[in-house]
Amino acid sequence: MSSTSQKHKEFVAEPMGEKPVMALAGIGEVLGKRLAEKGFDKAYVVLGQFLVLKKDEELFRDWLKDTCGANAKQQGDCYGCLKEWCDAFL
Amino acid sequence: MASMQLTDEELFSELKRFGFTPGPVTENTRPVYLKKLKKLREEQQQRGSRSGKTRSSGAINSTTGGGNTAGSRPASHDVTHLSSNRRPGRKSSVLGFSSDESDAETPLKRKGLNHSGRADRSPGFPQQPKIRPVTTPTAASKSQYGAGSALNSSSSSLGPDGQRGVSLGWGVRARSSPEAEGRDYDESGDEDDYEGGTEKNSRSLNGCGASHLITSKLAGDYSDSDEEEVGGLGAGDRQRDRLEPRRSPKAAFPSLGVGRGSQTGGAAREVNPPGSLNMVGSRREDGEEEKVKRRDSDSSGGLRSHNFPRKSIYVSLAENHGREAGKNNHVDSEDGSSRSSSSNRFSIGLRPRFSNYSSLSQPYRGNHSNHTAPNHSYSQAALKQKLSVPEDELLQQFKREEVASSGSFSAHYLSMFLLTAACLFFLLLGLMYLRMMGSGSSEPSVVCKNHPLGSKFDDYYKGKPERELILDLLSKLHDHLAHIAGQHDCGDQKYPNRSLSMEKASAYLVAQNQTFEDFIFICLEWVIRADKDVGIRLIGQVADEPVTDPSEILWLESTHPMMPFTCRFRRAFLIVISRVFLITVVVGCVGSVFCYVKYRWRREEEETRQMYDMVERIIDVLRSHSEACQENQDLQPYLPIPHVRDSLVQPQDRKKMKKVWDRAVSFLSANESRIRTETQRIGGADFLVWRWIQPSLSCDKTSLMPSKVWQGKAFPLDRRNSPPNSLTPCLKIRNMFDPVMEVGENWDLAIHEAILEKCSDNDGIVHIAVDKNSREGCVYVKCLSAEHSGKAFKALHGSWFDGKLVTVKYLRLDRYHQRFPQAQGCSTPLKASSLHLNTTSTMDTMPYLQRHGSANSSGFS
């Protein structure tokens, strides 16, 4: 998507540190809660999963859908956010 | 699927088999990879089924084109590319003809190439005859050929390296030729080929001859008719090509190497009488042999060559070229061979024609045997075979489809016909029925035979001639009355009255027959006396009273009105319509009522759900507020209701949620015991407020929060992330606590307890030491034996404890004893002091744990 949300911009602007998982673009309260229940309480844990899946878009999106039930837009937002973060900081 | 029982390694290797390199398979990624595996398997099945079809149709491809697509795939595509491309490609079947997904793939990649190839085709062809003689010198300057000089490159690519193979003047070929540039081998082959001058022999045959033929063929459209121009050769070629691919799939020949191929090729050529299959057959063999060497590339090439429609058989062959070229890791031989194979294929197809055209094949035999290129061409031929097979199949498929479509077409008409026939039948039936009803039997004889006046009439008038008269009279009267009644019923204005007066009836009957006059009364008498219904109603002075005497009759009316046909039809139609309408109205009413009820019910449910949701939110808000109040004594322990509402409900929703809110408020006041509704004065105004009256649950809360408990495993332990066997009896456990955060004197004992409880099944732990000052939160454990420590390792490593991921390492025993000399003497297994499991998923009630809990509750969000 050409346009990125405010959340995305904020997230990608700096190292994520201890930001909660809800700071990720595409992850709101509900999804954040579901992810936290599964143990992904911090954004870096989701980043870990993203890296374990070798930054593959399809796999990450599938995983996200299975884990917290994100829809396509949310998946895309989250993936884009993490990818850009990785490009910038990793 | 059986994938459910796959271990991680198996899953990993399965995915690798499809050419997809997965990341680590862990708990989290396992389902994702399982799905991916399923998808890949389905794709493979699809591809396998489709490739069978395309292979047969490829025969047609190879017959004409060969080498068209030579340069189309300069890029090397390894299997990964194949699989990764398949995904996007699968969905886009670019070309109408090819149904193979790999075909669909390749257009994505070769789009540009194809376009250029096609574009080059047309300009290339007219040049072909001219350029051919020039090819030899141009061989060296192949690299110069860009897309535009497709022809040159194609013709030059006929060289032994086979890259040129089928020189169809495609731009694609031009690209392939630059690839071949670097190989002297190829160039020499090219030049050798051209020494001969004619296109007959394998490579040159493939190239020049093919190009020649192609030009002629392409003179028209790139269709079968072109081949027909060339004569029956095209068909023969196609057949041959069909044969070829059939053989090629069975090929399992060991790759005998280039030399042999060339020899056989040469031999084939020598034996080749014009248009005989021998050459083709031997070519096939050679091609197969060669093919075996690069089976993978061939197959994928063959598959990918199916991209193009029948017409672009040339293109597909060239594609094959290019693909093989691209795919092969080995620069020279592989690429050359692949290209030569495709060119060979082409040459096979064209060979009969060539032989017809010229008899210059002999001089080339020697040349060819020298070149390794012939082998390439043979392999190309093999590839071409593959191409031809799918092409064939594709064509056959289309023919079948056409037939099927025509069949379905007629089937469609058949069904329509049947439908109309049925409708007509019923229509006729209805009409006949109406007509029967409408028209009474007007034959007097019939009336005479079956008259309703009864047996007494018969007895009375037996033998008397009056009988017929009376009956005749009766029938006439009846008909007349029926006619009148019918007309009246139909709305005919001529007869405003349904019934006929006596005078009029008599007048009518007299008009019919003078003799009737006397018998009118007698007849009427008999009608009165009739036991059966005559169809005439006699009305006297007083209606509804049966008439006993003919003199009383004033009106005659028919009870069986006879209406004209159209009238009947119309009435019937109207009746039917009205009835149907009525029924639909009734059904509609019932349905609408039902739907409305359902809608209301659903609305009700929705509102109730919203109300409960709102109640929960209010409770949460109040509870958190009360907790905040406890910590911050400045706040009032109650909250005004409107404030709560405004904080929970967005301004734009307030109007919508008003009803829900009100219900929630009333629910709370009725059913919630922890919230008290009262009136308070805030800022001078009276507010209805809610007060949370449950005593604070802070200690409960913190005890509910996980503190010093084990929270499950982060990853399954397997060979990859843990040593296969336990090495020493001593363990170093990291990240069990944070010394800065720990509060209290005995938290290390809690750690002891935690470890002992976690390893409660393992009674071999003899010494535990918590390093209070370590920043990493280290705990040292010594066990009775390596086996015990191994068990402890499995139990502890990778678990979550108090929000932290615990890791375990083995320590050398001597180091351990150095550090903890007191441990040397320990040999009694330790046991958890409290028998009920404190640290495993239950609430802690110990006071020191509470303190820690509150301190550590932030650790786990």
- Distance (Å, rounded) from C-alpha B617 to C-alpha B487? 79
User: Hey, of A42, A45, A49, A64, which one would you mutate to test binding to chain B, going by the most B CBs within 10 A of its CB?
Assistant: A49
- 8 Å CB contact of A49 and B28: yes
Quick one: pLDDT at residue B604? 94
Sort out which chain B residues have CB atoms less than 8 A from A20's CB and list them: 861
The DSSP output letter for B829 is P
Contact criterion met (CB below 8 Å) for B325 and B73: yes
Identity of the highest mean pLDDT range in B186-200, B524-538, B588-602, B681-695:
B588-602
Whole-Å CA distances, B70 to A64, B321, B441: 43, 4, 90
CA atoms within 13 A on the CB side of B268: 33
> Between B23, B87, B861, which is nearest A53 by CB?
B23
- Distance (Å, rounded) from C-alpha B350 to C-alpha B65? 10
Whether the CB of B20 is below 8 Å from some CB of chain A: the reply is no
Whether the CB of B35 is below 8 Å from some CB of chain A: the reply is yes
Q: Give which of B95, B107, B104 is closest to B50, Cα–Cα.
A: B104
> Between A52, A62, A66, which is nearest B23 by CB?
A52
User: Hey, of A59, A60, A75, which one would you mutate to test binding to chain B, going by the most B CBs within 10 A of its CB?
Assistant: A59
- If asked whether residues B480 and B516 sit together in one domain, one would say yes
In a domain, B480, yes or no: yes
- If asked whether residues B802 and B747 sit together in one domain, one would say yes
Kindly identify which residue of chain A lies nearest to residue B803, measuring between CA atoms: A39
- Distance (Å, rounded) from C-alpha B265 to C-alpha B365? 9
Whether the CB of A59 is below 8 Å from some CB of chain B: the reply is yes
Quick one: pLDDT at residue B364? 45
Whether the CB of B723 is below 8 Å from some CB of chain A: the reply is no
For the ranges B392-401, B509-518, B576-585, B741-750, which has the lowest average pLDDT? B392-401
Strands B675-682, B638-640: pairing is unpaired
- If asked whether residues B608 and B675 sit together in one domain, one would say yes
Catalogue the long-range contacts made by B437-442 (C-beta closer than 8 Å, 24 or more residues apart): B437/B568, B438/B562, B438/B563, B438/B564, B438/B565, B438/B568, B439/B562, B439/B565, B440/B479, B440/B482, B440/B560, B440/B562, B442/B479
In a domain, B472, yes or no: yes
pLDDT tier for residue A2 given thresholds of 50, 70 and 90 = low
Quick one: pLDDT at residue B340? 45
In a domain, B434, yes or no: no
CB within 8 Å of B597: residues ≥ 6 apart: none
SS3 B733: strand
- 8 Å CB contact of A54 and B22: yes
Which is more confident, B335 or B601?
B601
pLDDT over 50 at B37, yes or no: yes
User: Hey, of B12, B28, B711, B805, which one would you mutate to test binding to chain A, going by the most A CBs within 10 A of its CB?
Assistant: B28
Whether the CB of B617 is below 8 Å from some CB of chain A: the reply is no
Token duo for residue B652? 């734009």
Quick one: pLDDT at residue B453? 67
Q: Tokens 């045997």 sit at which residue? A: B369
Whether the CB of B84 is below 8 Å from some CB of chain A: the reply is no
pLDDT over 50 at B357, yes or no: no
How many helices and strands (H and E) does chain B possess?
Answer: 32, 13
Identity of the highest mean pLDDT range in B387-396, B510-519, B731-740:
B731-740
pLDDT over 50 at B400, yes or no: yes
The domain spanning residue B584 has which CATH number? Answer: 1.10.10.1180
- If asked whether residues B559 and B583 sit together in one domain, one would say no
- 8 Å CB contact of B32 and A63: yes
In a domain, B257, yes or no: no
pLDDT over 50 at B859, yes or no: no
- Distance (Å, rounded) from C-alpha B42 to C-alpha B641? 59
Q: Tell me how far the alpha carbon of residue B444 is from its chain's centroid.
A: 76
For the ranges B209-218, B499-508, B651-660, which has the lowest average pLDDT? B209-218
Q: Tokens 């809110």 sit at which residue? A: B661
Kindly identify which residue of chain A lies nearest to residue B714, measuring between CA atoms: A39
Identity of the highest mean pLDDT range in A7-16, B4-13, B213-222, B546-555:
A7-16
Quick one: pLDDT at residue B265? 40
Full residue range of the structural domain in which residue B7 is found: 1-39
Q: Give which of B841, B830, B836 is closest to B708, Cα–Cα.
A: B841
Sort out which chain B residues have CB atoms less than 8 A from A39's CB and list them: 712, 714, 800
Catalogue the long-range contacts made by A27-36 (C-beta closer than 8 Å, 24 or more residues apart): A27/A68, A27/A70, A27/A74, A27/A78, A28/A74, A31/A68, A31/A69, A31/A70, A31/A74, A34/A67, A34/A68, A34/A69, A35/A67, A35/A68, A36/B861
- If asked whether residues B732 and B795 sit together in one domain, one would say yes
Whether the CB of B31 is below 8 Å from some CB of chain A: the reply is yes
Whether the CB of A61 is below 8 Å from some CB of chain B: the reply is no
Task: Supply φ then ψ for residue B91, to 5 degrees.
Answer: -80, -25
Sort out which chain A residues have CB atoms less than 8 A from B33's CB and list them: 59
- If asked whether residues B515 and B481 sit together in one domain, one would say yes
Give the pLDDT mean for B430-438: 83
Q: Three-state SS string across B346-404, please?
A: HHHHHHHHHHHHCCCHHHHHHHHHHCCHHHHHHHHHHHHHHHHHHHHHHHHHHHHHHHH
- Distance (Å, rounded) from C-alpha B131 to C-alpha B124? 9
Whole-Å CA distances, B13 to B7, B22, B25: 10, 9, 11
Q: Give which of B138, B160, B136, B163 is closest to B149, Cα–Cα.
A: B138
CB within 8 Å of B192: residues ≥ 6 apart: B159, B160, B367, B370, B371
Quick one: pLDDT at residue B839? 56
Give the pLDDT mean for A37-46: 90
> Between B35, B712, B800, which is nearest A62 by CB?
B35
Q: Can you name the CATH fold of A6-89?
A: DNA polymerase; domain 1 (1.10.150)
In a domain, B805, yes or no: yes
Which is more confident, B112 or B407?
B407
| Strand arrangement of the beta sheet that strand B779-783 belongs to | B765-770, B779-783, B730-734, B807-811
User: With a CB-CB cutoff of 8 Å, which residues 141-180 of chain B face chain A?
Assistant: none
CB within 8 Å of B259: residues ≥ 6 apart: B372, B375
B634 C-beta neighbours (distance < 10 Å), count? 5
- If asked whether residues B550 and B613 sit together in one domain, one would say no
pLDDT over 60 at B652, yes or no: yes
Quick one: pLDDT at residue B829? 83
In a domain, B342, yes or no: no
Mean per-residue pLDDT of chain B: 65
Quick one: pLDDT at residue B439? 63
- 8 Å CB contact of A59 and B33: yes
pLDDT tier for residue A46 given thresholds of 50, 70 and 90 = very high
B72 C-beta neighbours (distance < 10 Å), count? 38
In a domain, B849, yes or no: no
Sort out which chain A residues have CB atoms less than 8 A from B23's CB and list them: 52-54, 56, 59
- 8 Å CB contact of B28 and A63: yes
Indicate the residue among B657, B692, B727 that finishes a domain: B692
Which is more confident, B402 or B549?
B549
pLDDT over 60 at A72, yes or no: yes
Give the pLDDT mean for B136-150: 43
- If asked whether residues B519 and B554 sit together in one domain, one would say yes
pLDDT tier for residue B593 given thresholds of 50, 70 and 90 = very high
Whole-Å CA distances, B532 to B440, B457, B462, B478: 17, 12, 19, 14
- If asked whether residues B724 and B774 sit together in one domain, one would say yes
Handedness of CA B850, B851, B852, B856 (dihedral sign): positive
- If asked whether residues B730 and B645 sit together in one domain, one would say no
CB within 8 Å of B661: residues ≥ 6 apart: B614, B645, B649
Which amino acid appears at position B478 of this protein?
H
User: For chains A and B, what is the number of CB pairs under 8 angstroms?
Assistant: 39
Give the pLDDT mean for B368-385: 49
pLDDT tier for residue B580 given thresholds of 50, 70 and 90 = very high
Q: Three-state SS string across B413-434, please?
A: HHHHHHHHHHHHHHHHHHHHHH
Helix axes B565-631, B641-648, angle to 10 degrees: 120
Quick one: pLDDT at residue B258? 41
- If asked whether residues B465 and B546 sit together in one domain, one would say yes
Kindly identify which residue of chain B lies nearest to residue A39, measuring between CA atoms: B714
Q: Percent of chain B scored above 90 by pLDDT? A: 7
